[in-house]
Homo-oligomer: A and B are copies of this chain.
Amino acid sequence: PDWKRIEEDGEERLQRQYSFHDFNDALAFTNQVGAMAEEEGHHPALLTEYGKVTVTWWTHKINGLHRNDFICAAKTDQLYLRAG
């Protein structure tokens, strides 16, 4: 369960699913990633469910993946390691 390259709406995107104990832990991670996104000025799609969060990074302006998406993916992993 690492980052996958997926295609959605004709755009290549980076996506990873993270596991958590329950809904609240998942939502707490969503907020951590959201705060990081605000700092970066770059915003992912965050799907929060019971016990999991699916994070998707891509750059709409170029309809695909920019170097910054990979950097933000790595930063998301770091947040997860600290949360775990």
A residues at B contact (CB < 8 Å): 23-24, 27, 30-31, 34, 37-38, 43, 45-50
Residues of B within 8 A of A31 (CB): 27, 31
Residue of B nearest to A22 (CB): B43
Residue of B nearest to A51 (CB): B43
**Copies of the protein in its oligomer:** 2
B50 touches A47 (CB 8 A): no
Residues of B within 8 A of A24 (CB): 34, 38
In the assembled complex, how far is the CB of residue A56 from the closest CB belonging to chain B, in whole angstroms?
A: 9
**A and B contact pairs by CB, cutoff 8 A, 11 listed:** A23-B34, A23-B37, A23-B38, A23-B43, A24-B34, A30-B46, A31-B31, A46-B47, A47-B47, A47-B48, A48-B48
Residue of B nearest to A23 (CB): B43
A48 touches B34 (CB 8 A): yes
